[in-house]
Amino acid sequence: MTDVETMNNRKLDELAKGYAEDILAEVEMNHAGTVVGDAIAYDLARECAHGSQWVIYYDRAHELCRNCDIDDGEEYARDTLANLGFSPHAIGYNEMATLIAYGELLARILRAINSGWWQHRKGN
């Protein structure tokens, strides 16, 4: 690996928490107290996961899959493929790794958002 440290569960959780904090700040600043805020938070989480270097680059997606607990990502990949009517064998190894990495990162961002949401509401 070049300029990026090896991915592991702790680093992936930190990455997800950083995304979640940015998302919560955005929602709080522009959409506080609206029902739309929840949907926007989810959309922003999807954008963060979709644009992450750990999802878009095959080598990084493989590293994430090798070094992290990917239960949520594997479930996301199975559900996504099933919803599209495909077998998990219908896509290549690289595409499967990026799909799993995306699902895992998205799940962790959403958990961090939910955790932050409750912390924020407890403070008010």
Write the pLDDT tens digit of every residue in 52-92: 999 999 999 999 999 999 999 999 998 998 888 877 667 78
pTM above 0.85, yes or no: no
**Shortest CA distance to 40 belongs to which of 50, 28, 27, 51?**
27
Phi-psi category of 57—alpha, beta or left, where left has phi over 0 and alpha has psi -120 to 50? beta
Q: What is the pLDDT of residue 10?
A: 97
Alpha-carbon span 8 to 104, nearest angstrom: 12
**Shortest CA distance to 69 belongs to which of 45, 41, 103?**
103
Q: What is the pLDDT of residue 118?
A: 58
The residue with greater pLDDT, 21 or 90, is 21
Helices 71-83 and 93-123 cross at an angle (nearest 10°) of 110
Instruction: Decide: 72 and 45 in contact? Cβ < 8 Å.
Output: no
pLDDT at 106 over 90: yes
Q: What is the pLDDT of residue 5?
A: 77
